[in-house]
Amino acid sequence: MHKKTPENKKGSETALKVLDSLLNDSGRKKISENQIIVILDALASAEDVEVVARFPAVLAICARRGLVLNSQALFSRYWETSPKRQNLEKLLLVSAAIFKIKGLNPPGNLNQIVASLKHKYGDLLSAGEFQLSSGMYVSMQALENTLDIYMTARSQSRADREPKTRKQTESLDASLDRLFSPKQKELIFKKRDGQAFTKTEREYYSRIVRKKLEAIASEDLGQLAKRLTTKLG
């Protein structure tokens, strides 16, 4: 039996480095659909359980950023009977089950993809583990544990970025309410938290909200506001 080639191993390691940078990022780093496909493909072909187990975490990133899985892009490179395609299918099917068990929102189109796979892998989930084309067995528990680690780290990162007291939160909300409409305020928080915009939201944010924020950030305007409010006081 031939060992994995250095090129394949290098590809998996590169994808893993990109993934780690995303997992450790607060949400501001951009990621494209193509990058997601490359990472998922590399993880599904890896021969290390700890690497494969990161698969659901990538899907969690997709869900958080509003990225939709493109089944054509995922599978079009492989014949239906290709072992690599079957690895992807199994991991998508199991990951969808884990998202459902944990009550997490899946990335767009995941449920539609796995609906067409259930008849193909009917009893895959019953044993609690499944086999990939390399012969390696992966347990659902390993996938769950890695997803839990990511979700915990994400929650902690979000908590670190949030205002430290209720008073500060209420003050920020009140200030934003005076200057922005509810929709504009929603986009501000989405931008702050690194959430993905739709095309319409992105255009509206750039055309309206960003210009308001730039005016507020103006040093001259800030000094004028302080001077006038001081006099009024």
* 209 lies in the same domain as 125: no
Domain count, the chain: 2
CB 16 within 8 A of CB 42: yes
Across 139-150, b (16+ Cβ under 10 Å) vs e yields: ebebbbebbeeb
Instruction: Indicate the Cα dihedral angle 141, 97, 4, 12, nearest 10°.
Output: -100
Structural domain includes residue 1 = no
pLDDT in tens, 56-104: 999 998 888 888 898 888 898 889 889 999 999 999 999 999 999 999 8
Virtual torsion, Cα 23, 29, 31, 35, nearest 10 deg = -60
Question: What confidence tier does 21 reach under pLDDT thresholds 50, 70, 90?
Answer: low
Block residue for tokens 């969808």: 96
Domain boundaries, position 106: 6-155
Q: Could you tell me how far CA 13 lies from the centroid of its own chain?
A: 20
pTM of the predicted protein model: 0.60
pLDDT of residue 7: 45
Instruction: Mark which of 155, 182, 201 sits at the end of a domain.
Output: 155
- pLDDT tens per residue across span 137-195: 999 999 999 898 888 876 665 555 554 555 566 677 788 888 888 889 888 888 887 77
